[in-house]
Amino acid sequence: MTQLVQALALGLLIGGVYALLASGLTLIFGVMHIINVAHGAFLVLVAMLTWWMWRETDIDPIVASVVTTPLMFGFGWVLYRTVIARIRGSSPSMSVLLTFGLALTIEGILNVTAGNIFRSATPAYFEQSFRVAGISLPKPQVYGFLAAVSVLALLYLVLTRTWTGRAIRATSQNPSGAALVGVSATSTAALAFAVGVATTGVGGSIMSVLYPFFPASHYDWISRLLGIIVLGGMGSLPGALVGALILGLAETLTATYGSLRWSTLVFYLVIMAVLLVRSQGLFGTRLREDVTT
Amino acid sequence: MSGKTQGLTGARGPVARDGWRRRLLVAAPLVALTVLPVIRPYDVYLHTVLLLAFLLAIQAVSWNIISGYAGYVSLGHSAFLGLGSYTAGIISVHTGLNPFLIAPLGGVVAVVAALLVGSVVLRTRGHAFVIITIALLLAAQIVAINWSSLTNGSDGITMELPFWSRDFQNVPFYYFFLFLMFMTIAFSAAIRRTKFGTGLVAIREDEGKAAAIGVNTTRYKIVAFCASTFFIGVAGVGYAYFQTFLNPIGAFNILGSVTIVLSALVGGRGTLWGPVVGAFIVQIASEAATVYGGGDQARVLLFGLALAAVVLFLPAGLLPTIQNWWRRRHPETVEYTDQAGALGSGRLEVRVRAREPQATATPPEQRRALLEVRQATKRFGGLVAVNNADLTVQEGTITALIGPNGSGKTTLFNLITGAMRADSGEIWFDGKRIDHLPPWTRGHLGLGRTFQVTRLFKSMTVLQNVVAPLPDARWRTMLSGAVRGHESDRARELLSFVGLSKFVDQPAGSLSYGQQKLVELAQVLMMEPKLILLDEPAGGVNPSLVAKMADIIRGLNEQGISFLVVEHNIPMVLDLCDPVVVFARGAPIAEGPPSIIRNDPVVLEAYLGDEWADPTAQPAGSGRTVAAESAAGSHGQVRR
């Protein structure tokens, strides 16, 4: 019983972090119908940056996200304006290929500059745990979870309470309608892309503590995160949340009752099972056949 | 007439010369590659570089079937090479059989994997496919690492060395991959020449429209996915044997997928030869990068930059870009529409399957309902677009559906053809309930439609557009030829009927709007329909063509095809159609012959508002009662 509670608690903690990592991906897809395959590479890039800052200045890796987040926001904005915007209007598959190219480029740059070795930021609390009611909660997981949840809450408030957020949501639901009421599609898209990439600032910083990484780990991450948003329904933020929790639970439960080696596979099988029943994912809507175009 | 024939024979000349030139362009390198090991028997390095290029070409050409023709990008296609390799490794280690003997098995395993994954993710439109392919690659790697009893885990499998004398070096592998590459290209070329291939391109261009013309998009995509893996699986067997060693990281490598995608993109995605050309370029460039550039680490960076650069600056790929440049240098003169042909063309023999011969002769009172919509409702959020609507189309009629903009006519069309599902209600066609059938099955039953704004497949030629529709669900029809044979003959016949014979080889996107409407009509006729739904056939078409369109519709109707027409050109509707159904706010408000509908105050009010209808309708007292009765009658009748 304790074992089960332990697995569930840990699964929720991990799921919260996954939710943050996937939120940017699903936001970008929802607004622009771009699958940002480079999202995983951005995360690894930030993790590397955080690790480097932590080593040089001993600043806490999770706190370092106050630096990396605005940095990634700017990076995302510039990237959208200079590169991604060029393929607006071409088929979505082109955006997949372009961002895949970007992911490889980042991996290659990290390979050449930082080398192909595993790294992990290990602050003082790295191996400590909280003990609550007989179960142990690793401190890094707890801190990571708290950071992730507060950023998600902030994101939610931005999307629902600010004009910018409403513009982003309007554009995702009906681009031409949004344009008619004075929301510029290009700036909104740039903004949404930047916000989506900014989540990797926090996400990557948390990642640097929780998971050892090396340049090529982005494949593993992107496939997991894409799995989450396929499971939840592409473009749906609540879907990403639920998908992330399912992945977190699938991982800890397989690790507890089976073997960690199979946990990712179990998650993929869950996705396939869900797609068999609901081909649009848990919270997804079927693409509407547009009447006049 | 003679002018037409002349034009055709005149056009044959350069085409024939082109074909001869093209054949030489293909044959010469093939012969050169075949004799190369004989001329340079000891150049092992050259053989190896080339055989790896063949291997890459096999993969890129295969990938192109699902991701180029059908447009569903796979980023995990190297998984199938790994599956083939592991099939070979496991079987030959356990049984001692020579890998070449079991090569086809590698292909079978790849196809089975593709079938399993494809039938889950390819049932709907959307972007899950690309994601699942990445997951497939990584999942295969996880399985290969962890199922050690079968795969020997991370330690990998060491295979026996080739049985032939060392003097032959890699030459047997060279010919194995050369032969396989040849087979793969021939396979891809064969697919392009069938209706199946045309249908795949149709799916890439406009999947909803493809479904509307009878293309079973789910089946097409799954078959294409399977077809895109077989030769890769076979090649995987040869590759494992060539390396004599395989491990999970090497066999299921995402960089392998990157080179496949890059090859196809560089050469030209969706073309037959593009992936081949691209594969040679990428293989040789990556060889050069390894030799001069600093090894594997730099290769990832180079691949990434190359991929991004190709997408940004050469999205069509080399071959199509060169082709376009050549065409611009050597422009062909395109003749103007064959107006005389279009306006004066003769009567078309309608071909309709399983049609009762007396259909046209049925007197009106014995007519039966061909299409019945019963209490259909469709909501978009809070908006009720179609509200509990009933509609009946009697066999043999040209029924009009008119109503103000936003009254739900096109949504009703979408419900009938299956582009959307109704929230409630039933739809019956020809004695069958169809509201749960996919759009293509409804098409096979004899239901065809055109669109308000034409939706032709713009990159396909006019002929391909008309060949693409499928009248039935048989595999034989799907695999019949699209370039030669009865299907293309019929398409040409239909195109000459609408006066567009001279445009058969033009890209459909280059036609004028009115011409596109005619092509869309020919497309629908290709499906041999019993009922055609026309969404504003006269919208945006010049007046002489409107009259012609009406004649065509009348002519087809005389031969037994029924019509349901949405149209705002009221004179045309009143002249052509009987009965006329008036739609407002998502439901029919009146139905009757045109003479009554034109004076119906309910209709006038719906179109023009209360203020207009009331004062003018008042004096025409008798008209009002008749119309009111007819409106009430129609309601009572349908509700019954």
The verdict on a CB contact (< 8 Å) between A275 and B121 is yes
Answer yes or no: do B135 and A93 touch at CB < 8 A: no
Mean pLDDT for the stretch of residues A179-202: 88
Nearest to B411 by CA among B400, B402, B420, B403: B420
What's the confidence (pLDDT) of residue B366?
64
Q: Distance (Å, rounded) from C-alpha B103 to C-alpha B89?
A: 11
Q: Band the pLDDT of B287: cuts 50, 70, 90.
A: confident
Between these two residues, B18 and A132, which has the higher pLDDT value?
A132
A251 and chain B in contact, CB less than 8 A = no
Higher pLDDT, B161 or A100: A100
For B486, other C-beta atoms within 10 Å of its C-beta total: 9
Who wins on pLDDT, A134 or B15? A134
**Between chains, do B67 and A264 touch, taking CB under 8 Å as contact?**
no
CB distance B127–A280 less than 8 Å? no
> Domains of chain B: which residue ranges?
47-284, 362-461+527-593, 599-640
In chain B, the percentage of residues whose pLDDT exceeds 90 is: 32
Q: Which two tokens stand for residue B94?
A: 């356990």
In the structure, what pLDDT confidence band is assigned to residue A74 with cuts at 50, 70 and 90? very high
For residue A225, what is the nearest residue in chain B, using CA coordinates? B131
- Provide the shortest C-alpha distance from residue B180 to chain A (in Å): 27
Q: Which of A289, A292, A293 to mutate to test the interface with B (most CBs of B within 10 A)?
A: A289
Q: What is the pLDDT of residue A287?
A: 47
* φ and ψ of B305, to 5 deg: -65, -40
B123/A279 CB distance under 8 A: yes
Does position B558 have pLDDT exceeding 50, yes or no?
yes
Chain A's closest residue to B306, CA to CA, is A101
Range among A71-80, A153-162, B516-525 with highest mean pLDDT value: A71-80
- The answer to whether the CB of B515 falls within 8 A of the CB of B337 is yes
By percentage, how much of chain B surpasses pLDDT 70? 86
Bridging pattern class, strands B587-592 and B245-246: unpaired
Question: Touching check for B308 and chain A: CB below 8 Å?
Answer: yes
Interface of B with A in 448-467 (CB under 8 A): 452-453
Q: What is the DSSP string of A194-232?
A: HHHHHHHHHHHHHHHHHS-B-TTHHHHHHHHHHHHHHHH
Contacts of B306 in chain A (CB under 8 A): 101
Point out the least confidently predicted range of A196-205, B305-314, B358-367, B373-382. B358-367
* DSSP 3-state of B600: coil
Within the 137-176 window of chain A, which residues sit less than 8 Å (CB to CB) from chain B? none
CB-nearest partner of A101 from B146, B311, B452: B311
Is the confidence at residue B627, as pLDDT, over 50? no
Q: State mean pLDDT over B460-475.
A: 89
Interface of A with B in 63-122 (CB under 8 A): 83, 86-87, 90-94, 96-98, 100-109, 111-112, 116
Q: How far apart, in whole angstroms, are the C-alpha atoms of residue A94 and residue B308?
A: 10
CA B496/CA B347 separation, integer angstroms: 11
Looking at CA atoms only, how far is residue A98 from chain B in angstroms?
A: 5
Residues 270-289 of B with CB under 8 A from A: none
Q: What is the mean pLDDT of residues A148-152?
A: 90
At A70 the pLDDT is 94
Q: Is B542 on the interface with A (CB under 8 A)?
A: no
CB B236 within 8 A of CB B81: yes
Contact status, residue B539 vs residue B530, Cβ threshold 8 Å: no
Residue A154, classed as helix, strand or coil, is helix
Could B303 and A104 be called an inter-chain contact, meaning their C-beta atoms sit closer than 8 Å? yes
From chain A, the residues in CB contact with B121 under 8 A are 275, 279
Which residue did the predictor score with more confidence, A61 or A75? A75
Paired tokens of A86: 């060029």
pLDDT digits (tens, 9 = 90+) for A236-288: 888 899 999 998 998 888 888 887 778 878 888 888 888 888 877 787 765 44
- Using pLDDT thresholds of 50, 70 and 90, give the confidence band for residue B530: very high
pLDDT at B359 over 70: no
- In angstroms, rounded to a whole number, what is the distance separating the alpha carbons of residues B431 and B480? 30
- Do B132 and A271 make contact, defined as CB atoms within 8 angstroms? yes
State whether B311 and A87 contact (CB < 8 Å): yes
- Closest Cα in chain B to A264: B139
Among B283-292, B295-304, B328-337, B339-348, the minimum mean pLDDT is found in B339-348
Phi, psi of B473 (to 5 degrees): -100, 10
d(CA B625, CA B639): 21
Angle formed at CA B553 by CA B536 and CA B606, multiple of 5 degrees: 40
Instruction: List strand residue ranges (DSSP E) for B395-445, in order.
Output: 398-402, 424-429, 432-433
In degrees to the nearest 10, what's the CA dihedral of A254, A260, A265, A268? Answer: 60
**Surface of A (19-48) touching B: CB under 8 A:** 29, 33, 35, 37
SS (H, E, C) B274-294: HHHHHHHHHHHHHHHHHHHHH
Chain B residues close to A107, C-beta within 8 Å: 300-301, 304
pTM: 0.86
For residue A201, what pLDDT band results from cuts at 50, 70 and 90? very high
Report the gap between the CA of A137 and the closest CA in chain B (Å): 28
Q: Is the pLDDT of residue A126 over 80?
A: no
The mean predicted confidence, pLDDT, of chain B is 83
Euclidean distance between CA atoms B133 and B427, whole angstroms: 38
Question: Which tokens sit at A119?
Answer: 């790294």
- For A123, other C-beta atoms within 10 Å of its C-beta total 18
Cβ of residue B550 closer than 8 Å to a chain A Cβ: no
* B566 shares contact with chain A (CB less than 8 Å): no
Q: Is B80 on the interface with A (CB under 8 A)?
A: no
The first and second tokens of residue B23, run together, are 């054949």
Which chain B residues are Cβ-neighbours of A271 within 8 angstroms?
132, 135
Look at residue B363 in the predicted model and tell me its pLDDT. Answer: 55
Q: What pLDDT does B260 receive?
A: 95
> Above 50 in pLDDT, residue B211?
yes
Write down the pLDDT at residue B365: 58
Of A97, A112, A264, the CB nearest to B301: A112
Query: Cis bond leading into B14, ω under 30°?
Result: no
User: Does B145 contact A at CB distance below 8 Å?
Assistant: yes
Does any CB of chain A come closer than 8 Å to the CB of residue B316?
no
What confidence tens digit (pLDDT) does each residue in A213-248 have? 999 889 889 988 988 988 888 888 888 999 999 989
Q: Is the pLDDT of residue A134 over 50?
A: yes
Distance CA B481, CA B488 (A): 8
Which member of A272, A275, A291 has the closest CB to residue B414? A291
Name the residue facing B300 among A107, A259, A281 (closest C-beta).
A107
Give the best residue of A275, A291, A293 to mutate against chain B (max B CB count within 10 A): A291
Is the pLDDT assigned to residue B621 strictly greater than 50? Answer: no
Q: For residue B617, what pLDDT is reported?
A: 41
Give the C-alpha separation, B158 to B564, whole Å: 68
Average pLDDT over residues A78-95: 87
Q: Do A106 and B304 touch (CB under 8 A)?
A: yes
Considering only the beta carbons, identify the residue of B145, B254, B411 that sits closest to A219: B254
Q: Could you report the per-residue pLDDT of B389-401, keeping only the tens digit for each?
A: 899 999 999 999 9
Length of chain A: 293
The Cα–Cα gap between B83 and B97 comes to 18
pLDDT at position B5 over 50: no
CA distance linking residue A267 with residue A223, whole number of Å: 11
Residue B9 touches partner A, C-beta closer than 8 Å: no
Architecture of the domain whose range is A2-277: Orthogonal Bundle (1.10)
Closest CA of chain B from A261, distance in Å: 7
Task: Compare B576 and B232 and report the one with higher pLDDT.
Answer: B232
Tens of pLDDT along B566-614?
988 888 888 888 889 988 888 888 888 888 887 888 777 777 665 544 4
Q: Coil, strand, or helix at residue A129? A: strand
Residue B221 carries which side chain, given as an amino acid letter?
Answer: K
The full length of chain B comes to 640
Contacts of A39 (CB under 8 A, 6+ apart): A24, A25, A28, A99, A196, A197, A200, A221, A222, A225
CA torsion B599-B600-B606-B609 (nearest 10°) is: 60
Distance separating alpha carbons of residues B430 and B528, to the nearest angstrom: 14
Find the angle CA(B188)-CA(B190)-CA(B193) to the nearest 5 degrees. Answer: 115
Residues B300-313 have a mean pLDDT of 90
3-class secondary structure per residue, B348-397: CCCCCCCCCHHHHHCCHHHCCEEEEEEEEEEEECCEEEEEEEEEEEECCC
pLDDT band at B16 (very low <50, low <70, confident <90, very high): low
What pLDDT is stored for residue A188 in this prediction? 86
pLDDT band at B90 (very low <50, low <70, confident <90, very high): very high
* Higher pLDDT, residue B224 or B353: B224
Predicted confidence at residue B78, as pLDDT, reads: 94
Report the range of poorest mean pLDDT among B318-322, B359-363, B589-593: B359-363
What confidence score (pLDDT) does residue B98 get? 87
Q: What angle do CA A7, A13, A15 make, to 5 degrees?
A: 95
Query: CA nearest B153 in A: which residue?
Result: A261
Domain boundaries, chain A: 2-277
Size of interface A-B (CB pairs under 8 A): 152
3-state secondary structure of A84: helix
Q: Do B71 and A91 touch (CB under 8 A)?
A: yes
Closest among A178, A169, A185 to A235, alpha carbons compared: A169
Res. B361 pLDDT band, cuts 50 70 90: very low
Q: Do residues B574 and B580 lie in contact, with contact meaning Cβ atoms separated by under 8 Å?
A: yes
Confidence label for B340 from pLDDT (cuts 50, 70 and 90): very low
- A160 pLDDT above the threshold of 80: yes
| pLDDT given for residue B10 in this prediction | 37
Q: Does B146 touch chain A (CB under 8 A)?
A: yes
Long-range CB contacts for residues A270-275, cutoff 8 Å, separation at least 24: A270/A231, A270/A246, A271/A227, A271/A230, A271/A231, A271/B132, A271/B135, A272/B117, A272/B120, A272/B132, A274/A231, A275/A230, A275/B120, A275/B121, A275/B128
CATH code, residues B362-461+527-593: 3.40.50.300
CB contacts of A222 in chain B (<8 Å) are 134
Contact (CB<8Å) B208/A264: no
